[in-house]
Amino acid sequence: MRVIIRKTYQEMSREAANLVRKRLLQKNNLVLGLATGSTPLGLYQELIRMHREEGLSFKNVHTFNLDEYFGLLPSHPQSYRYFMDANLFNHIDIDKKNTHVPDGTAADIDAFCFQYEEAIRRAGGIDLQVLGIGGDGHIGFNEPGSSLASRTRMVALDEQTISDNARFFERKEDVPRFAITMGVGTVLEAREIILLANGEKKARVIQLALEGPVTSLISATALQFHQRVTVFLDEAAAGALQRTTYYRFSEEAEKRIGREIF
Protein backbone atom coordinates (compact mmCIF):
# COMPACT_ATOMS: atom_id res chain seq x y z
CA MET A 1 0.00 0.00 0.00
CA ARG A 2 1.31 3.43 -0.98
CA VAL A 3 0.41 6.34 1.31
CA ILE A 4 0.92 9.81 -0.21
CA ILE A 5 0.61 12.71 2.24
CA ARG A 6 0.37 16.32 1.12
CA LYS A 7 -0.02 19.50 3.14
CA THR A 8 -3.38 20.58 1.71
CA TYR A 9 -6.51 19.09 0.16
CA GLN A 10 -5.71 20.84 -3.12
CA GLU A 11 -2.23 19.30 -3.30
CA MET A 12 -3.60 15.88 -2.40
CA SER A 13 -6.25 16.14 -5.12
CA ARG A 14 -3.66 17.13 -7.74
CA GLU A 15 -1.51 14.13 -6.88
CA ALA A 16 -4.50 11.82 -7.25
CA ALA A 17 -5.40 13.39 -10.60
CA ASN A 18 -1.82 12.91 -11.78
CA LEU A 19 -2.13 9.18 -11.11
CA VAL A 20 -5.43 8.97 -13.00
CA ARG A 21 -3.87 10.85 -15.92
CA LYS A 22 -0.88 8.51 -15.91
CA ARG A 23 -3.10 5.44 -16.09
CA LEU A 24 -5.28 7.01 -18.79
CA LEU A 25 -2.27 7.81 -20.94
CA GLN A 26 -1.16 4.20 -20.54
CA LYS A 27 -4.61 2.91 -21.54
CA ASN A 28 -6.99 5.28 -23.32
CA ASN A 29 -9.99 2.97 -22.87
CA LEU A 30 -9.55 2.81 -19.11
CA VAL A 31 -12.43 1.47 -17.02
CA LEU A 32 -12.82 3.79 -14.03
CA GLY A 33 -14.74 3.12 -10.84
CA LEU A 34 -15.93 6.43 -9.40
CA ALA A 35 -17.10 7.78 -6.06
CA THR A 36 -19.26 10.71 -5.02
CA GLY A 37 -19.25 12.98 -1.97
CA SER A 38 -17.20 16.08 -1.21
CA THR A 39 -13.80 14.34 -1.03
CA PRO A 40 -13.32 13.47 -4.74
CA LEU A 41 -14.49 16.89 -5.95
CA GLY A 42 -10.93 18.24 -6.02
CA LEU A 43 -9.84 15.25 -8.09
CA TYR A 44 -12.67 15.76 -10.57
CA GLN A 45 -11.99 19.50 -10.84
CA GLU A 46 -8.34 18.79 -11.66
CA LEU A 47 -9.31 16.19 -14.28
CA ILE A 48 -11.61 18.76 -15.89
CA ARG A 49 -8.74 21.24 -15.95
CA MET A 50 -6.45 18.64 -17.53
CA HIS A 51 -9.08 17.98 -20.20
CA ARG A 52 -9.59 21.67 -21.00
CA GLU A 53 -6.01 22.88 -20.75
CA GLU A 54 -3.94 19.81 -21.63
CA GLY A 55 -6.25 17.91 -23.94
CA LEU A 56 -6.63 14.87 -21.70
CA SER A 57 -9.31 12.80 -23.42
CA PHE A 58 -11.94 10.56 -21.86
CA LYS A 59 -13.52 9.66 -25.20
CA ASN A 60 -12.90 5.93 -24.84
CA VAL A 61 -13.30 5.69 -21.05
CA HIS A 62 -16.02 3.64 -19.37
CA THR A 63 -17.08 4.45 -15.81
CA PHE A 64 -18.98 2.63 -13.06
CA ASN A 65 -20.09 4.46 -9.96
CA LEU A 66 -19.98 2.81 -6.57
CA ASP A 67 -23.47 3.56 -5.36
CA GLU A 68 -26.76 5.42 -5.54
CA TYR A 69 -29.53 6.29 -3.12
CA PHE A 70 -32.55 4.04 -3.40
CA GLY A 71 -35.69 5.89 -4.48
CA LEU A 72 -34.09 9.00 -6.01
CA LEU A 73 -34.67 9.76 -9.67
CA PRO A 74 -31.53 10.55 -11.72
CA SER A 75 -32.83 14.13 -12.03
CA HIS A 76 -32.96 14.62 -8.25
CA PRO A 77 -30.28 17.18 -7.20
CA GLN A 78 -28.95 14.78 -4.54
CA SER A 79 -28.86 11.70 -6.75
CA TYR A 80 -25.40 10.47 -7.61
CA ARG A 81 -26.18 10.48 -11.33
CA TYR A 82 -26.94 14.19 -11.03
CA PHE A 83 -23.74 14.69 -8.99
CA MET A 84 -21.53 12.96 -11.56
CA ASP A 85 -23.05 14.82 -14.50
CA ALA A 86 -22.72 18.19 -12.76
CA ASN A 87 -19.24 17.66 -11.34
CA LEU A 88 -17.47 15.67 -14.05
CA PHE A 89 -19.27 14.14 -17.03
CA ASN A 90 -20.77 17.39 -18.40
CA HIS A 91 -17.31 18.97 -18.53
CA ILE A 92 -15.23 16.31 -20.31
CA ASP A 93 -15.49 14.48 -23.64
CA ILE A 94 -16.79 11.21 -22.24
CA ASP A 95 -19.63 9.42 -24.04
CA LYS A 96 -22.53 9.43 -21.57
CA LYS A 97 -23.53 5.97 -22.85
CA ASN A 98 -20.31 4.69 -21.32
CA THR A 99 -21.09 6.08 -17.86
CA HIS A 100 -22.88 3.82 -15.41
CA VAL A 101 -24.51 4.77 -12.10
CA PRO A 102 -26.71 2.32 -10.17
CA ASP A 103 -30.43 2.82 -10.81
CA GLY A 104 -32.05 3.81 -7.54
CA THR A 105 -35.51 3.36 -9.07
CA ALA A 106 -35.06 -0.16 -10.47
CA ALA A 107 -38.23 -2.21 -10.12
CA ASP A 108 -36.32 -5.46 -9.56
CA ILE A 109 -33.34 -4.60 -7.36
CA ASP A 110 -31.83 -8.09 -7.31
CA ALA A 111 -31.97 -8.37 -11.10
CA PHE A 112 -30.49 -4.89 -11.51
CA CYS A 113 -27.60 -5.62 -9.13
CA PHE A 114 -26.78 -8.81 -11.04
CA GLN A 115 -26.89 -6.89 -14.32
CA TYR A 116 -24.59 -4.18 -12.91
CA GLU A 117 -21.98 -6.78 -12.01
CA GLU A 118 -22.36 -8.32 -15.47
CA ALA A 119 -21.86 -4.92 -17.10
CA ILE A 120 -18.60 -4.46 -15.20
CA ARG A 121 -17.45 -7.88 -16.37
CA ARG A 122 -18.40 -7.18 -19.98
CA ALA A 123 -16.35 -3.97 -19.85
CA GLY A 124 -13.33 -6.05 -18.85
CA GLY A 125 -13.39 -5.23 -15.14
CA ILE A 126 -12.48 -2.00 -13.38
CA ASP A 127 -8.91 -0.86 -14.02
CA LEU A 128 -8.80 1.93 -11.43
CA GLN A 129 -11.31 2.37 -8.60
CA VAL A 130 -11.64 5.73 -6.83
CA LEU A 131 -12.83 5.54 -3.21
CA GLY A 132 -13.63 7.89 -0.38
CA ILE A 133 -14.15 6.74 3.18
CA GLY A 134 -17.12 7.31 5.48
CA GLY A 135 -16.90 8.47 9.06
CA ASP A 136 -17.53 4.89 10.19
CA GLY A 137 -14.92 3.51 7.78
CA HIS A 138 -17.24 2.39 5.01
CA ILE A 139 -16.28 2.28 1.34
CA GLY A 140 -19.16 2.62 -1.07
CA PHE A 141 -22.16 2.16 1.21
CA ASN A 142 -20.72 -0.98 2.78
CA GLU A 143 -21.75 -0.17 6.31
CA PRO A 144 -20.26 -1.76 9.47
CA GLY A 145 -20.89 -5.50 9.41
CA SER A 146 -20.92 -5.80 5.62
CA SER A 147 -19.40 -9.02 4.38
CA LEU A 148 -15.91 -8.53 2.98
CA ALA A 149 -17.01 -10.82 0.12
CA SER A 150 -20.21 -8.83 -0.59
CA ARG A 151 -21.41 -8.01 -4.09
CA THR A 152 -23.57 -5.22 -5.53
CA ARG A 153 -26.79 -5.11 -3.52
CA MET A 154 -29.28 -2.96 -1.62
CA VAL A 155 -28.24 -1.90 1.89
CA ALA A 156 -29.78 -0.07 4.82
CA LEU A 157 -27.80 3.04 5.72
CA ASP A 158 -26.24 3.39 9.15
CA GLU A 159 -27.39 6.22 11.42
CA GLN A 160 -23.95 7.84 11.26
CA THR A 161 -24.02 7.80 7.45
CA ILE A 162 -27.46 9.40 7.46
CA SER A 163 -26.24 12.09 9.87
CA ASP A 164 -23.05 12.68 7.85
CA ASN A 165 -25.00 13.10 4.61
CA ALA A 166 -27.78 15.23 6.09
CA ARG A 167 -25.81 18.39 5.21
CA PHE A 168 -26.62 17.77 1.54
CA PHE A 169 -30.39 17.74 2.16
CA GLU A 170 -32.80 20.34 3.50
CA ARG A 171 -33.64 18.11 6.47
CA LYS A 172 -32.13 14.99 7.95
CA GLU A 173 -35.51 13.31 7.43
CA ASP A 174 -35.03 13.73 3.66
CA VAL A 175 -31.92 11.53 3.54
CA PRO A 176 -32.83 8.16 1.98
CA ARG A 177 -32.56 5.19 4.34
CA PHE A 178 -31.45 2.71 1.67
CA ALA A 179 -28.94 2.61 -1.16
CA ILE A 180 -27.58 0.34 -3.89
CA THR A 181 -23.84 -0.19 -3.59
CA MET A 182 -21.03 -2.22 -5.07
CA GLY A 183 -19.94 -4.79 -2.50
CA VAL A 184 -16.55 -4.98 -0.84
CA GLY A 185 -15.79 -8.06 -2.92
CA THR A 186 -16.71 -6.15 -6.07
CA VAL A 187 -14.40 -3.27 -5.14
CA LEU A 188 -11.50 -5.60 -4.40
CA GLU A 189 -11.68 -7.02 -7.93
CA ALA A 190 -10.50 -3.69 -9.38
CA ARG A 191 -6.95 -3.96 -10.71
CA GLU A 192 -5.91 -0.83 -8.82
CA ILE A 193 -7.51 1.35 -6.14
CA ILE A 194 -7.02 4.89 -4.92
CA LEU A 195 -8.47 6.01 -1.60
CA LEU A 196 -8.93 9.72 -0.83
CA ALA A 197 -9.43 11.31 2.59
CA ASN A 198 -9.01 14.79 3.98
CA GLY A 199 -9.65 16.66 7.18
CA GLU A 200 -9.12 15.99 10.86
CA LYS A 201 -12.48 14.22 11.17
CA LYS A 202 -11.16 11.37 9.02
CA ALA A 203 -7.85 10.98 10.88
CA ARG A 204 -8.89 8.27 13.34
CA VAL A 205 -10.80 6.14 10.84
CA ILE A 206 -7.92 6.39 8.35
CA GLN A 207 -5.52 5.11 11.00
CA LEU A 208 -7.82 2.18 11.72
CA ALA A 209 -8.35 1.43 8.04
CA LEU A 210 -4.66 1.47 7.12
CA GLU A 211 -2.97 0.26 10.29
CA GLY A 212 -5.64 -1.55 12.28
CA PRO A 213 -6.84 -5.16 12.10
CA VAL A 214 -9.02 -6.22 9.17
CA THR A 215 -12.65 -6.28 10.27
CA SER A 216 -16.07 -6.19 8.67
CA LEU A 217 -16.93 -3.40 11.13
CA ILE A 218 -14.65 -1.10 9.09
CA SER A 219 -15.05 -2.16 5.48
CA ALA A 220 -12.10 -0.03 4.33
CA THR A 221 -9.73 -2.35 6.21
CA ALA A 222 -10.36 -4.90 3.43
CA LEU A 223 -8.12 -2.75 1.23
CA GLN A 224 -5.19 -4.23 3.15
CA PHE A 225 -5.82 -7.41 1.13
CA HIS A 226 -5.35 -5.62 -2.21
CA GLN A 227 -2.02 -5.57 -4.03
CA ARG A 228 -2.22 -2.09 -5.60
CA VAL A 229 -3.73 0.60 -3.36
CA THR A 230 -2.58 4.23 -3.23
CA VAL A 231 -3.96 6.38 -0.42
CA PHE A 232 -3.94 10.17 -0.87
CA LEU A 233 -4.24 12.20 2.35
CA ASP A 234 -3.84 15.76 3.50
CA GLU A 235 -1.85 16.30 6.69
CA ALA A 236 -4.99 16.59 8.81
CA ALA A 237 -6.32 13.19 7.70
CA ALA A 238 -2.87 11.67 8.24
CA GLY A 239 -2.64 13.08 11.74
CA ALA A 240 -3.29 9.84 13.64
CA LEU A 241 -1.12 7.52 11.53
CA GLN A 242 1.65 5.74 13.43
CA ARG A 243 3.91 5.02 10.45
CA THR A 244 4.04 8.43 8.79
CA THR A 245 7.85 8.44 8.79
CA TYR A 246 7.89 5.20 6.84
CA TYR A 247 5.30 6.40 4.33
CA ARG A 248 7.34 9.52 3.60
CA PHE A 249 10.55 7.46 3.38
CA SER A 250 8.90 5.08 0.92
CA GLU A 251 7.75 7.94 -1.31
CA GLU A 252 11.28 9.38 -1.36
CA ALA A 253 12.62 5.94 -2.27
CA GLU A 254 10.17 5.80 -5.19
CA LYS A 255 11.61 9.05 -6.53
CA ARG A 256 15.14 7.71 -6.29
CA ILE A 257 14.46 4.49 -8.19
CA GLY A 258 11.82 5.91 -10.54
CA ARG A 259 9.05 3.42 -9.88
CA GLU A 260 6.02 2.95 -7.64
CA ILE A 261 6.44 0.78 -4.55
CA PHE A 262 3.32 -0.93 -3.23
Strands 153-156 and 128-131 turn out to be unpaired
pLDDT of residue 149: 97
pLDDT of residue 1: 96
Q: Structural domain boundaries of the chain? A: 2-257
Cα gap 149→142, rounded to integer Å = 11
Compute φ and ψ for 193, nearest 5 degrees: -135, 140
pTM as predicted: 0.96
pLDDT of residue 134: 94
* pLDDT tens-place string over residues 209-253: 999 999 999 999 999 999 999 999 999 999 999 999 999 999 999
Low-confidence stretches of the chain (pLDDT beneath 70):
none
pLDDT of residue 205: 98
Q: Which CATH architecture has domain 2-257?
A: 3-Layer(aba) Sandwich (3.40)
pLDDT of residue 238: 98
pLDDT of residue 18: 98
pLDDT of residue 98: 98
Catalytically annotated residues: 67, 136, 138, 143
Task: Find all residues with CB under 8 Å of 259, minimum gap 6, and list them.
Answer: none
pLDDT of residue 110: 97
pLDDT of residue 80: 97
Cα gap 165→180, rounded to integer Å = 16
pLDDT of residue 224: 98
* pLDDT tens-place string over residues 188-219: 999 999 999 999 999 999 999 999 999 999 99
107-137: b (≥16 Cβ within 10 Å) or e:
eebeebbeebbeebeebeebbbbbbbbbebb
